[in-house]
């Protein structure tokens, strides 16, 4: 009985990998935006972020209707509130580029809300040397993520499962 329940649950989970292949061959052109960004970040970070956001949105819209749970490494929210904020703060993108990408994020958030809004944001913390040991899972609300990346004071997230804090 127990294994049947576990199998039922596992069959309902869709793991969504990073769309790296889409970044490394943009629209079948052979253009590797990821390499361009790593080779000359100042020049290509803005274009890469647009490509990355579009590919994450495409992945979010590609839903397996038989899977009720999707686990994504990153979403358009982490794209916006982590990567774009960091690139603006470090001078890798201009305020004009940030403004355009933020408008794209707001458009996607508004028009594709049911596809892109996460129910839970989790953070896995571990060191490579501790990978075989229990992992600490933290959970943040969207407002906590925004505050964290805006440099405002916030409470430390509470561990949800396993490990020690």
Tell me if 75 sits within 8 A of 118, measured CB to CB: yes
As annotated, the active-site residues are 73
- Return d(Cα 165, Cα 155) in angstroms, integer: 14
Sign of CA dihedral 78, 80, 85, 88: positive
- Distance separating alpha carbons of residues 86 and 150, to the nearest angstrom: 10
Q: For 49-75, b where at least 16 C-beta lie within 10 A, e where not — what string?
A: bebbbbbbbebbeeeeeeeeebebeeb
Radius of gyration of the chain (CA): 18
The secondary structure of residue 129, as a DSSP letter, is: G
CA 27, CA 48: separation in Å to the nearest integer? 13
């Amino acid at each position: 009985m127990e294994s049947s329940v576990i199998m039922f649950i596992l069959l309902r989970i869709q793991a969504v990998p990073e769309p790296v292949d889409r970044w490394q061959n943009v629209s079948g052109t052979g253009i590797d935006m990821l390499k361009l960004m790593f080779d000359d970040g100042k020049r290509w970070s803005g274009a890469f972020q647009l490509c990355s956001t579009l590919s994450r949105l495409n992945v979010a819209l590609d839903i397996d209707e038989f899977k009720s749970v999707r686990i994504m490494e990153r979403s358009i929210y982490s794209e916006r509130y982590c990567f774009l904020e960091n690139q603006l703060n470090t001078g890798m993108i201009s305020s004009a580029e940030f403004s355009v990408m933020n408008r794209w994020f707001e458009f996607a958030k508004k028009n594709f809300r049911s596809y892109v809004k996460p129910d839970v944001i989790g953070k896995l913390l571990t060191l490579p040397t501790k990978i075989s040991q229990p992992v600490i899972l933290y959970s943040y609300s969207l407002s906590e993520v925004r505050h964290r990346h805006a440099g405002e004071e916030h409470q430390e997230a509470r561990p949800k499962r396993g490990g020690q804090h």
